[in-house]
Structure 1
Amino acid sequence: MLPLLVIAAAVAGCTAKPGPAQPPSQTSPPGADSTPAPTDGGQQAPPVDPAAVRLGDLLRQGPVRVSVMDLGLERDLSPAEREQAAAAVRTAVPVPDGAGAPGGTQSPLPWDLTLTVTRDGGSYTLGWFEPTRFWLRADGEGEPSQEMPGAFSQEDSGLYRSLLATLGPELPLPPDEAQRIIEDRARAAVEALRDRNWEALASLVHPTRGVRFSPYGYVRVGPEGDRVLTPAELPKAWTDKTVHLWGHYDGSGEPIRLTFAGYFERFVYDKDFAEAPQVGYNRILGRGNTLQNWWQVYPGGILVEYHFPGTDPRYQGMDWRSLRLIFVEESGTWYLVGIIHDEWTT
């Protein structure tokens, strides 16, 4: 039997009572430890023993939803994918709040993954601080959440790697590979924006798709979607005095009616992003309440984010700003197709 994760912590909404052990679920593989299964007639089994929350069993038995915050990707795992994930679980030990993970220096996570397992009127959510350090949250029905940090005992968690392999066809290029491909071209684009060099910018834009301007992190498509300009339109846009609809302001919902120059100053280059202190490749750095859907709109694309963290203590970090450039590849050339501005939204 593969070793399973055991979290020795109380589960919200669950109370342990002495009694006979419950039989293994019929859906579990032979030899696998199991949490109690529903009894005949559809009745719920007794609560999970809070001294032995076994992640492998939860993955096998309960509906499991995987989320990638950076991409806005969220979907349920199939039974076969759940079994594969459960088989990849390594032995783990609980660690106190604030304690470091074993194994020394940790490498950064390529993707911000979370798993949510729903069963017995509550749910468990698992996420990773680092490849070998996770957190587990238990949410009982009508009960407050309980955080249970823990750390995998191996240098690499097999579960994290298994999920990456499962989601592989749906994920964009890893950040390091994306940076190698697009760093120079993205630099040319952000410098063209800084210099208001529209001819240089137009030369980077996709010749037929143009470039879409999105005022916030959620990209709107379709007839009522975000405004798109072609390479031929860009050089003339700066001096065009025509007022256009670019979307709606967050909070008030009022229409964003501006000239291109007005939109550019407010929703494109409102910071000197060419000198941004943080740059991310296929990774969202600025996090607010807006759903991120860039990967669904631009499948196979590369995102480059130029990010200014919040600086004014009055706003507690919420005065951050980000400019995201999206590139897609065609016939060996990576073209600029999206310019997304983002900030804290309500």
Structure 2
Amino acid sequence: MRRYVTFIILGLGVFAVAAGLALRLYAYPQLAKIPHNVNEVSVGHGEGITALVYVPDGDTAMPEIRENLSLTSTTKVTGNLRAEEVTEDGDVTVWVEASEVVDDDDGLTVNGSLRSLCLDRYSGEAVMPCENQFYEDVAGERIVGERGTLQQPGLNFKFPFATEQRDYRWFDTSVKKALPIKYSGEEEIRGLPTYKFVQTVPPTLLEERDVPGSLVGQPDVPTVRAGLYYEATRTLWVEPTTGAVISGREDGKQELRADGESTAVFDGELALTDETVAANVEAAEENISSLWLMTVLPVILWIVGGVLIVASIVLLVMGGRGRHSSSAPASTKVTEPV
């Protein structure tokens, strides 16, 4: 009877190890994918900001630098389900991002952008070939990327599943490059453990443009050729299991430089609102619960399975020794003749 019990324990151990492997190697990769049908809105806010605003003036708009503004940014990310790169079980998806920053007082747009790119559904990085990649920083002036070239490389919307405590490369939409974003420790956001990452963009010339002389300290000159420089410090808090960005803030500055004069056309910080952060925490906690079965449970099954296998082997060895002892010949007593 004990022999049958031993083999049952051995079978349960092997089953537990196999089930853990199946969950980790097959089920987890199927679940740990960014969705095709994403539809998310995030809102940021900032106070005391300096910004260049175009004020309507009849049929035109006049540039005006305003200080101490209250600005709100709205970013909507949706999936392009009609893109040729998108298939139901495929490893690539296409996301589209539309963003706008407005002056809270009069609703005037400070800046806006639209972009699209192909993403690896596991790592979250931009991939090629991609027919559906473009960005549009000025309305009506769309810059389309070549199919075989990464137009917006690196991470763009999220970090990989199982984010590690190391540096990554995050795409900056202003300089149009993937720059290092450095791991900077662990912090809790609303009770949720996160990894903190910080990206520093040094002062960089974005472009040269003709601007009214009044914007660069030359009111008597109608037009001046000026360089537009940009710098920023970006901080992101990332939930490591899902790679989701939970909270974020960006302290940015843009200035026009001409003939030794410089004028800030944007200077301030925008941060995700408490409502957006709370929604991100709730969504991450739901996704963590789903992924738990594919990450923690396999480890538990491997441990339990290993213990059962070892126990069954011990029982088999002990059973073998017992049979060997019971089969030894009994000693006989020799009676000496009288």
TM interval, shorter chain, is: under 0.3
**Larger strand proportion of the pair:** 2
TM-score where L is the length of structure 1: 0.22
State the TM-score, normalizing by the size of structure 2. 0.23
Greater Rg by CA: 2
